[in-house]
Amino acid sequence: MPRLSSLALARATLDRATERRRDPDWVAARWADERARAVPVLAGDVPVADDLTSLVYVSPAALDALGGADPAGDAGEGGTEERYFLGLDEADVPYFAVAFTGASEDLGPDVLLDGRPAEKVRWAGLREVGGTLPDRDAGVVVHAVALVNWHAAHQHCARCGARTRPTDGGHVRRCPACETQHFPRTDPAIIVLVTDAEDRCLLGRQGSWPVGRFSTLAGFVEPGEPLEHAVAREVHEETGIHVVDAEYAGSQPWPFPSSLMLGFFARAISTRIQVDEEEIVEARWLSRADLKAAVESGELLLPGEVSIARRLIETWYGSPLSGSW
């Protein structure tokens, strides 16, 4: 199978300036740059144009006027927004994420960089706009949402319990009590399109999903486990199928809240399905003709277009398919 390319959520273009963001004065100067752009994140959503084709950025100066925090991310106990440095574009324009705690109505035309009227702005999540935004904006949103999610869930030190503070432009949390440094969490998960000797694909349905909603099989990689072993283990645990020849296809972040999806193709050496009745309650072998007919009739709903699961299925199928969750 060919490698996956141009995955919707794997289109980052910014220079993250890893070495320079460690200097709080440098980060503060980037925030003060009149060209700087910030993207507010509110409950996982970001402001976008009403046609979903561009991210709507906010003026850092206007955010400061609303009542801001230190741009290095070092907000204190006051509950003000934390800001995280995302990177620089090819013209050295700085980009930031803001963990926004206000109301969406606070971001009016005087705050938005392009002066767009409120009725031309909507708040949307990555699943909706990850595939419609241009490369730069898509990469900015993925990075912003991932960082905001991590900070929200890791406010205290795992070693001593003290409240931690962001540093390094928001890419580290440091404990002032025991000086432990905590780094953003990323959870690796394999996701695999299994085929058999008849070139049928294996799709499964989780118990929490409605009838008709199917996807490829997936699961988290366990500590000390090679990716290829995780592929074989997850497929067998969920469906009873044995697979070999796990072939890496590509990856993309999936910040819901912190996964990195590692895509694979694998070959089945058994075909008798025995679902685990816990994670997977139904699994089916489908030929291309079977899949096409089921999708067109509405009997089967495919994963969303921004997911790596959808790309794995369409790569095997040979062309784009219609319909999704």
Q: In the prediction, which pLDDT does 78 show?
A: 34
> Does the pLDDT value for residue 75 go beyond 90?
no
Phi first, then psi, for residue 148 (nearest 5°) are -60, -40
Q: In the prediction, which pLDDT does 64 show?
A: 84
Beta strands in 142-183 (DSSP E): 165-167, 172-174, 181-182
Other beta carbons within 10 angstroms of residue 306's beta carbon come to 22
For 214: left if phi > 0, alpha if psi spans -120 to 50, otherwise beta; the answer is beta
Q: Give the pair of three-digit tokens for residue 82.
A: 């934390």
Predicted confidence band at 154 (pLDDT cuts at 50, 70, 90)?
very high
**Domain limits, the chain:** 20-182, 187-317
Q: What is the pLDDT of residues 192-214, one digit of tens each?
A: 999 999 999 999 999 999 999 99
Q: What is the mean pLDDT of the chain?
A: 93
Q: Which of 116-120, 145-149, 197-201 has the lowest mean pLDDT?
A: 116-120
Q: In the prediction, which pLDDT does 65 show?
A: 79
Q: In the prediction, which pLDDT does 71 show?
A: 53
Please name the helix (run of DSSP H) or strand (run of DSSP E) that holds residue 137, with its range, or none.
Answer: helix 135-153
Please name the helix (run of DSSP H) or strand (run of DSSP E) that holds residue 32, with its range, or none.
Answer: helix 24-32
Cis amide leading into 257 (omega within 30): yes
Predicted confidence band at 32 (pLDDT cuts at 50, 70, 90)?
very high
Q: Contact, 284 vs 299, CB < 8 A?
A: no
Q: In the prediction, which pLDDT does 249 show?
A: 98
Closest CA relative to residue 150, chosen from 19, 9, 255: 255
Q: In the prediction, which pLDDT does 67 show?
A: 63
Predicted confidence band at 274 (pLDDT cuts at 50, 70, 90)?
very high
Percent of the chain scoring above 90 in pLDDT: 83
More confident residue, 72 or 299: 299
Q: Contact, 187 vs 156, CB < 8 A?
A: no
> Does the pLDDT value for residue 72 go beyond 60?
no
More confident residue, 68 or 181: 181
> Does the pLDDT value for residue 216 go beyond 80?
yes
Please count the residues of the chain.
325
Spell 177-200 as b/e; 16+ CB within 10 A means b.
Answer: eeeeebebeeeebbbbbbbbeeeb
Predicted confidence band at 73 (pLDDT cuts at 50, 70, 90)?
low
Q: Residues 256-282: what's their mean pLDDT? A: 97
The conformation of residue 287, written as its DSSP 8-state character, comes to -
Q: In the prediction, which pLDDT does 62 show?
A: 84
Predicted confidence band at 76 (pLDDT cuts at 50, 70, 90)?
very low
Grouping H, G, I as helix, E, B as strand and the rest as coil, residue 262 is strand
C-alpha 213: how far from its chain's center? 21
Q: Give the pair of three-digit tokens for residue 324.
A: 């999704």
Q: In the prediction, which pLDDT does 79 show?
A: 39
Cα dist. 305→22, 142, 321 in Å?
Answer: 36, 16, 10
Q: Give the pair of three-digit tokens for residue 50.
A: 């009403």
Q: In the prediction, which pLDDT does 244 show?
A: 99
Cα dist. 182→78, 159, 198 in Å?
Answer: 21, 10, 48
> Does the pLDDT value for residue 177 go beyond 70?
yes
Q: In the prediction, which pLDDT does 148 show?
A: 96
Other beta carbons within 10 angstroms of residue 248's beta carbon come to 15
* Fold matches, 20-182 and 187-317: yes
CATH tag, 20-182: 3.90.79.20
Q: What is the pLDDT of residues 40-71, one digit of tens each?
A: 999 999 999 999 999 999 989 888 877 654 45
The secondary structure of 201-254 as a DSSP string is EEEEEETTSPTTB-B-EEEEPPTT--HHHHHHHHHHHHH---EEEEEEEEEEEE
Strands 187-195 and 201-206: antiparallel
Predicted confidence band at 108 (pLDDT cuts at 50, 70, 90)?
confident
Predicted confidence band at 325 (pLDDT cuts at 50, 70, 90)?
low
Pick the CATH number of 187-317 from 3.90.79.10, 3.40.50.300, 3.40.1350.10, 3.10.105.10: 3.90.79.10
d(CA 270, CA 283): 14
Q: In the prediction, which pLDDT does 94 show?
A: 98
Q: In the prediction, which pLDDT does 68 show?
A: 53
Q: Using CA atoms of 109, 112, 118, 121 in order, give the dihedral in degrees to the nearest 10.
A: 160
Closest CA relative to residue 143, chosen from 274, 271, 1, 17: 17
